């Protein structure tokens, strides 16, 4: 089946000629307004050497004024043109600077073809290999290595062969079966649209021919898959809106819904406000299922013959995009299509060296690093291996505080331990245990600087609750680090894991009907939010013990501030590591007030 849209990505290092190449393609295909072309004859980038009256093709793809001022491409610029067979070519010009690799990765996730440019005067660079690796991970179908600026080396065949052999040797570790090498000059137009007389030694396709000759492979799998985009309700109507991602569907077909594994029959198919008997790949439809199964946005609908297993544990390739390093055990939002769910990176298996392809042990990932990680989600998802399905195998990780995209991931496979574990319910539940104790079970999370008074307040609060005949228990941060968390230090990753373990233990104790009091510095807002997210609404009470750092230093009950001042504790909160004040705590108390007054304030809030 021939697609009507072909997506092309251009990438490479800075000044390899990406924007110039795209600009020439657009002009040669008459896909640029004539007045814009006219302007490109007069406007110049900073430091441009293009003669007056000649077209500066690179300007035709820039969308940001800052790009023209700096002479670089910052954002991904999109343009389109028509091919000879009436397909529409969507071209994305990805930035070459290393700090903008995130932009390139996003564009690659949608691309059918990637053009990786190499400057013949500079040869293979680190960013070239990084972009090739990302194209490999993102499942780009065809890769064209355009060895550009050969006019600057007298169209040397030896230079072309040297760069090609260098890349082939390093690309043996990639899975890129459809790869082409084309010698060219984007500025002069050699081998861009037609063959160049300046390089008689090359008898392969021109760049445009190589692009136009690509067609999607016809797969043997034709079973239907679709993802639920929304639920449509009316007085006598309940349907699910979706776009058929693969295969076709007809009235009467039996389908499975994942991750719930429910089975239903397609009773009605609605398209353009009309009932139809069937729908094909790419059609946007509303399905009415019988019976009306419990289905939600993001669920996967597939033919009943599909063997798909939902899981909450996955192995994935991850491209880290954020300036702040990845912190294992920290909670992020995983977004895949319309699905949005809390997730944590439980383990970094290794990072991948983009130069050698070696797998190196790693405890974190820095910006633009690529690694293999294990991810745990709060509930099972029907995600598929990325090589099998780009649609159902990709995801992004989003920071829960800033809502910035921090990672782009590709599912390798689900982990069996996630598929083999099932939650076991018991007849004696939390409500029954609360009733037996005649109290409401809650988690009271005391957070604040070391020396703020958390443990003192926790002790006084537990005594008051006990005197009232209530069942309470204190989970103290230092005490837990002597046992359960003895293996953890004080890095950001260890602190995130410390909070995760304490919150999970606290959740179990709340389920047992207890009032749990936690005295924990827990300096990072996102970690405290993750702790709150695993509790039922109203069961988690964040109490901020607000004590100035000067007072805490003066108190210094454990001598920790004195050690930190000597450099003996490099990650000590308030000295070597920032404390993120709660933005919206349930209760804020003054750590300089009398302990009994603070205790009564918390009791008043609880009771």
Summarised one tens digit per residue, pLDDT across range 373-396 is 999 998 888 888 888 888 888 899
Q: Would you say residue 73 has pLDDT above 70?
A: no
CA distance 265 to 292: 10
For the packed helices 525-533 and 492-511, what is the interaxial angle rounded to 10 degrees? 20
Average pLDDT score over residue span 139-165: 94
Cα gap 192→194, rounded to integer Å = 6
Residue that wins the pLDDT comparison between 588 and 303: 588
Give 466's Cβ-side CA count (13 Å radius): 10
Annotate 389-437 with DSSP letters as a single string.
Answer: -HHHHEEEEE-TTT--EEEEEEEEEE-HHHHS------SS-HHHHHHHH
pLDDT value at 419 more than 70: no
- Confidence tier at 66 by pLDDT (50, 70, 90): very low
- Report the 10 Å Cβ neighbour count for 203: 7
Looking at domain 225-303, its CATH superfamily turns out to be: Translation factors (2.40.30.10)
Separation of alpha carbons 356 and 377, rounded Å: 32
The answer to whether 383 and 398 have CB atoms below 8 angstroms apart is no
Cβ(67)–Cβ(74) below 8 Å = yes
Q: Are 313 and 375 in contact (CB under 8 A)?
A: yes
Phi then psi for residue 502, to 5 deg, are -60, -40
Largest CA distance in the chain: 95
State yes or no: cis peptide before 572, omega within 30 of 0.
Answer: no
The second-level CATH assignment, the architecture, of 311-419 is Beta Barrel (2.40)
Phi-psi region of 481 (alpha: psi -120 to 50; beta: other; left: phi over 0): alpha
- CA dist., res. 347 & res. 314, Å (int): 11
Of the pLDDT bands very low, low, confident and very high (cuts 50, 70, 90), residue 368 is confident
CATH topology (fold) of 430-606? Rossmann fold (3.40.50)
54: DSSP letter: S
Measured CA to CA, the distance from residue 510 to residue 497 in angstroms comes to 20
What residues form DSSP beta bridges with 250? Answer: 278
Please state, in angstroms and as integers, the Cα–Cα distance from residue 501 to each residue in 456, 468, 532, following that order: 22, 29, 13
Distance CA 82, CA 88 (A): 5
In angstroms, the CA 115 to CA 118 distance is 10
* Closest listed residue to residue 481, CA positions, set 506, 457, 512, 502: 502
Q: Which pLDDT score is estimated for 64? A: 43
Q: 224: pLDDT confidence band, cut at 50, 70 and 90?
A: confident
Quickly tell me which residue has 């008898």 as its tokens.
Answer: 203
For residue 202, the model assigns a pLDDT of 95
- Cβ neighbours of residue 504 closer than 8 Å, sequence gap 6 or more: 534
When the pLDDT of each residue in the chain is averaged and rounded to a whole number, the result is 85
pLDDT above 90 for 39: no
Query: Greater confidence, 368 or 508?
Result: 508
Query: Which of the residue ranges 114-123, 496-505, 568-577 would you say has the lowest mean pLDDT?
Result: 568-577
pLDDT (mean) for 449-465: 94
Q: How far apart are CA 401 and CA 317, in angstroms?
A: 24
Q: Is 144 left (phi over 0), alpha (psi -120 to 50) or beta?
A: beta
Q: Please tell me the predicted confidence (pLDDT) of residue 48.
A: 59
What is the distance, to the nearest Å, from the Cα of residue 168 to the centroid of all Cα atoms in its chain? 30
How much is the average pLDDT of 56-60? Answer: 61
Strand partners of residue 310: none
Residue 308 confidence (pLDDT): 81
Domain with residues 5-212, CATH architecture: 3-Layer(aba) Sandwich (3.40)
- Tell me the C-alpha distance between 210 and 204, whole Å: 9
Tell me if residue 558 falls in helix, strand or coil: coil
pLDDT at 289 over 80: yes
Q: Tell me the CB-side half-sphere exposure of residue 372, using CA atoms within 13 A.
A: 12
Inform me whether the pLDDT recorded for 436 exceeds 90.
yes
Decide whether 311-419 matches 430-606 in CATH topology.
no
pLDDT-derived band at 189, boundaries 50, 70, 90: confident
Mean pLDDT within 289-315: 87
3 state SS of 117: strand
Locate the domains of the chain by residue range: 5-212, 225-303, 311-419, 430-606
Please, which residues bridge with residue 123 across strands? Answer: none
Over residues 460-466, mean pLDDT = 96
What is d(CA 248, CA 245) in angstroms, rounded to the nearest whole number?
9
- Token readout for 211 is 């692009």
What is the model's pLDDT at position 420? Answer: 65
pLDDT for the residue 374: 94
The pLDDT of residue 418 is above 60: no
| Chain centroid offset of residue 342 CA | 12
Active-site amino acid positions:
522
Residue 515: the pLDDT is 96
Contact of 108 with 3, CB cutoff 8 Å: no
Contact yes or no for 105/411 (Cβ under 8 A)? no
Kindly report the length of the chain: 607
- Residue in this structure with the two tokens 């090589």, named with its chain if needed: 387
Higher local confidence (pLDDT), 94 or 497 = 497
How is 154-185 classified by DSSP, letter by letter? Answer: TT-HHHHHHHHHHHHHHGGGS--SSEEEEE-B
Strand partners, 288: 268
How far apart CA 494 and CA 426 sit, in angstroms, is: 33
What is the CB neighbour count within 10 angstroms for residue 200? 10
DSSP-assigned letter for residue 577: B
In 3D space, the residue among 521, 517, 459, 455 whose CA is nearest the CA of residue 485 turns out to be 521
- Three-class SS state of 1: coil
Q: Which of 51, 50, 56, 59 is nearest to 77 (CA)?
A: 59
Q: Give the number of other CB atoms < 10 A from CB of residue 82.
A: 12
* Span 167-176, pLDDT tens digits: 998 888 888 8
Residue-wise pLDDT for 236-282, tens only, equals 788 899 998 888 899 999 999 988 888 999 999 998 888 999 998 88
Q: Where are the beta strands (DSSP E) in 456-586?
A: 472-476, 515-519, 540-546
Locate 255 and state its tokens: 């389908």
């Amino acid at each position: 089946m021939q697609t009507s849209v072909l997506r092309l990505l251009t990438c490479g290092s800075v000044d390899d000629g990406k924007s110039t190449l795209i600009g020439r393609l657009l002009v040669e295909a008459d896909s640029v307004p004539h007045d814009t072309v006219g302007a490109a004859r007069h406007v110049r980038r900073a430091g441009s050497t293009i003669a007056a009256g000649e077209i500066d093709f690179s300007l035709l793809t820039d969308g940001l004024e800052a790009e023209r001022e700096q002479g670089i491409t910052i954002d991904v610029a999109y343009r389109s043109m028509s091919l000879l067979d009436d397909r529409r070519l969507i071209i994305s010009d990805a930035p070459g600077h290393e700090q903008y690799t995130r932009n390139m990765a996003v564009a690659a996730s949608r691309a059918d073809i990637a053009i990786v440019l190499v400057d013949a005067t500079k040869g293979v660079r680190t960013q070239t290999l990084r972009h090739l690796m990302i194209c490999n991970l993102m499942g780009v179908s065809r890769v064209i290595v355009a060895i550009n600026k050969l006019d600057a080396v007298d169209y040397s065949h030896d230079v072309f062969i040297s760069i090609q052999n260098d890349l082939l040797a390093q690309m043996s570790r990639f899975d890129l079966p459809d790869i082409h090498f084309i010698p060219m000059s984007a500025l002069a137009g050699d081998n861009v649209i037609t063959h160049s007389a300046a390089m008689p030694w090359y008898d392969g396709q021109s760049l445009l021919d190589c692009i136009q000759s690509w067609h999607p492979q016809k797969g043997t799998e034709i079973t239907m898959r679709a993802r639920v985009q929304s639920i449509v309700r009316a007085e006598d109507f309940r349907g699910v809106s979706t776009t058929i991602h693969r295969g076709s569907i007809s009235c009467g077909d039996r389908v499975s819904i994942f991750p719930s594994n429910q089975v239903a029959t397609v009773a009605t198919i609605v398209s353009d406000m009309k009932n139809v008997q069937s729908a094909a790949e790419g059609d946007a439809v509303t399905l009415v299922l019988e019976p009306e199964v419990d289905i939600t946005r993001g669920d996967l609908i597939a033919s009943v013959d599909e063997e798909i297993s939902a899981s909450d544990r996955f192995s994935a390739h991850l491209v880290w995009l954020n300036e702040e390093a990845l912190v294992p055990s920290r909670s992020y939002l995983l977004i895949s299509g319309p699905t949005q769910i809390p997730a944590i990176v439980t383990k970094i298996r290794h990072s991948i060296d983009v130069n050698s392809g070696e797998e190196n042990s790693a405890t974190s990932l820095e910006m633009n690093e690529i690694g293999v990680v294990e991810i745990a989600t709060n509930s099972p998802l029907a995600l598929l291996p990325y090589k099998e399905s780009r649609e159902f195998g990709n995801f992004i990780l989003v920071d829960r505080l800033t809502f910035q995209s921090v990672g782009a991931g590709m599912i390798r496979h689900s982990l069996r331990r996630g598929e083999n574990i099932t939650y076991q319910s018991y007849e004696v539940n939390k409500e029954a245990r609360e009733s037996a104790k005649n109290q409401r079970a809650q988690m009271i999370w005391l957070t604040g600087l070391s020396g703020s008074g958390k443990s003192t307040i926790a002790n006084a609060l537990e005594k008051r609750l006990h005197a009232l005949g209530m069942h309470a228990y204190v989970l103290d941060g230092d005490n837990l680090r002597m046992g359960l968390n003895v293996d953890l230090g004080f890095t950001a990753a260890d602190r995130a894991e410390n909070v995760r373990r304490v919150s999970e233990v606290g959740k179990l104790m709340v389920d047992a009907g207890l009032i749990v009091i936690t005295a924990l510095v827990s300096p990072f807002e996102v970690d405290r939010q993750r702790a709150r997210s695993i509790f039922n609404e109203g069961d988690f009470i964040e109490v901020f013990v607000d004590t100035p750092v000067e007072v805490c230093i003066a108190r210094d009950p454990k001598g920790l501030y004195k050690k930190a001042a000597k450099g003996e504790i490099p990650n000590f909160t308030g000295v070597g590591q920032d404390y993120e004040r709660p933005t919206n705590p349930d209760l804020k108390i003054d750590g300089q007030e009398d302990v009994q007054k603070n205790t009564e304030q918390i009791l008043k809030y609880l009771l």
